[in-house]
Amino acid sequence: MAINTIHYRALLCFRKSQKRVVTLLMVCVFHSPLYANEISLYQAQQFAISQDPFLKGNSFREEALSNEEKAAAYWANPQLSSTIQNLPTDGFSLNQEPMTQVKVGIKQQLPRGNVNTLSQQKTAFMARKLKTESDARKALLNRDVAFAWLDWYLASQRIALLSKEKSLLTQLLDVTESRYSSVVGSAQQDDILQVRLALMTLQDKYTQALQKELEAKAALSKWYGAPLDDTATPSSFNADMIFTSYHIDAHGFIAQIDKLDPFDALQNHPLAEGLQLQTQAETKQLDIAREQTKSQWSVEASYGYRQDAQNGMSRADFVSVGVQVDLPFFTRGKQTASISAAAAKVNASKTDFRLKVNELAAQAEILTERLFFLNERKALYEHGLVSEVAQLAQTLLTSYTADTANFSDVVNANIRQIQVQDELLRMQVDEARTLASLAYLYLPALTSTSHQ
């Protein structure tokens, strides 16, 4: 066990030496609070959102669609033409023949039906859909960062509890070995072996907790582009910290969602809203397909200049105006197929919306039930087991000082107390994870509803 500890410390020192240079460089680049000794959940969430490449990319995509919406309002470019008409081939003179003229014309093609307005509306819906994608991404980041941060918090707290348990077991081993070597009391060799076995089992738990802590820190670094400093630790935690970004506490949140029907409320979740906007965009595309059955018009005007005749007689210039229209009657099969395809996409989007709402609502129902039973178990521990094992440990300690109890009983009672605290800690973190998942589902939907 000592060798394993020395090996770990040597490995940790090597890692520290590797990470110092990287950490210093990243601090210069980011100036972030993530390299402070203590990192809160809110700090981690806000930094992840501010550095997320997806959100930055979406802002550029929104800007692109905004410009596309403006561009869709414009007509096609007018066409300018210039020709010399009816030029005689026997002399190429401009005043030889009365029909020879220099003609300048302009032609403007009009939009087909209401296509331009519909294209603008479609692009506007797509831009709003990108906004909902960004909102959904922020909610997802808040949840996933909370998961990783809570894993880090749990592992660090478990390491502290396991260290206390190790200290108690070490004391028990020392006392047992002393009693066995001095032949005092009823200590047997198997007592020593049992304590040593418990210590080795504890060392395995400690190694697992340390692994979980390092994995959680590595998971957090995914959103920051740099590893967290070895000295970084999670701050203290309570369930209300899950809702810091939304300015509400855990009790108020639970009271609020208890009144809601998830199948109604979650229709306003950004993922569901995005599908609604997709349906509206597809509906505009269906309208555009229907507009393709209408004729497209063009208007044109021209001016024909003629030179005077060779004998000096004046010749009048010509002005021409006209319209052109295409006849989409011969492609009716193609247009019908395009309309049917667009209508099918609308129906598919409506189905996707309903499927997504059902999926989100089912998740909410599962999480609500999980939260209920976690609260039941947590109440049992907080109002029963914790006080009972604490009372037992105190009673045995009093008996030991009065020489009516064994030291091993005192140690085992204290170990049991630590184990109950460990289990309670797990439940508290599970409760926080469940609340983070419910916040991901409900809070964006509630925020969206309040803004409508």
Residue 222 belongs to domain with CATH number: 1.20.1600.10
What is the DSSP track for 60-106? HHHHHHHHHHHHTTSPPPPEEEEEEES--TTT--TTSSTT-EEEEEE
Mean pLDDT for the stretch of residues 291-303: 92
Q: Is the pLDDT of residue 350 over 90?
A: yes
What is the domain extent for residue 278? 32-73+132-293+331-451
The answer to whether residue 282 scores a pLDDT higher than 70 is yes
Query: What mean pLDDT value characterizes the chain?
Result: 84
> What local confidence, expressed as pLDDT, does residue 106 receive?
95
Structure tokens at 355: 């499927």
What are the residues whose beta carbons fall under 8 Å from the beta carbon of 8, sequence distance 6 or more? 210
Q: DSSP string of 241-303?
A: GGGGGGT--HHHHHHHHTT--HHHHGGGSHHHHHHHHHHHHHHHHHHHHHHTTS--EEEEEEE
**321 in a domain, yes or no?**
no
Higher pLDDT, 131 or 407: 131
- Mean pLDDT, rounded, for 366-390: 91
Please tell me whether residue 159 adopts helix, strand or coil conformation: helix
Angstrom distance (rounded) from CA 338 to CA 390: 75
Q: How many domains does the chain divide into? A: 1
Domain annotation covers residue 417: yes
The predicted structure's pLDDT at residue 38: 86
Task: Give a yes or no: residue 316 inside a domain.
Answer: no
Q: Which residues pair with 105 in a beta bridge?
A: 81, 302
Res 222 pLDDT > 90:
no
Report the C-alpha gap between 187 and 408 in whole angstroms.
10
Confidence of residue 29 (pLDDT cuts 50, 70, 90): very low
Residue % of the chain over a pLDDT of 70: 88
- The pTM of this model reads 0.79
**What mean pLDDT is predicted for residues 69-83?**
91
Q: Is the pLDDT of residue 138 over 80?
A: yes
Compute the distance between CA of residue 49 and CA of residue 146 in angstroms, rounded to an integer.
12
Q: What is the DSSP letter of 34?
A: G
What is the DSSP code (8-state) at residue 206? H
C-alpha–C-alpha distance, residues 288 and 118, integer Å: 6
- Of 382, 340, 366, the residue nearest 434 (C-alpha): 366
> Could you tell me if residue 422 is inside a domain?
yes
CA distances from 1 to 21, 130, 157, 199 (A): 32, 55, 22, 9
Alpha-carbon gap, residue 256 to 250, rounded angstroms: 10
What does the block give as tokens for 70? 């403006």
What is the C-alpha separation between 136 and 59, in angstroms, rounded?
14
Reported as a single tens digit per residue, the pLDDT across 239-254 is: 888 888 778 889 989 9
* pLDDT single digits (tens) 390-415: 888 888 878 877 777 777 787 888 88
pLDDT, mean of residues 320-341: 89
How buried is 212 (Cβ within 10 angstroms: 0-12 exposed, 13-18 middle, 19+ buried)? Answer: middle
pLDDT reported for residue 372: 94
Model pLDDT for residues 305-318, shown as the tens digit of each residue: 988 777 778 888 89
In this predicted structure, what is the pLDDT of residue 288?
93
Residue 39, SS3 per DSSP: strand
Q: What's residue 448's pLDDT? A: 61
pLDDT at site 97? 80
| Residue 183: pLDDT band with limits 50, 70, 90 | low
Domain-embedded: residue 361: yes
274 or 229, higher pLDDT: 274
Rg (CA), the chain: 38
Q: 17 pLDDT band (50/70/90 cuts)? A: very low
Q: Mean per-residue pLDDT for 60-64?
A: 92
Residue percentage of the chain with pLDDT more than 90: 45
Q: What is the mean pLDDT of residues 370-377?
A: 94
CA distance 290 to 285: 9
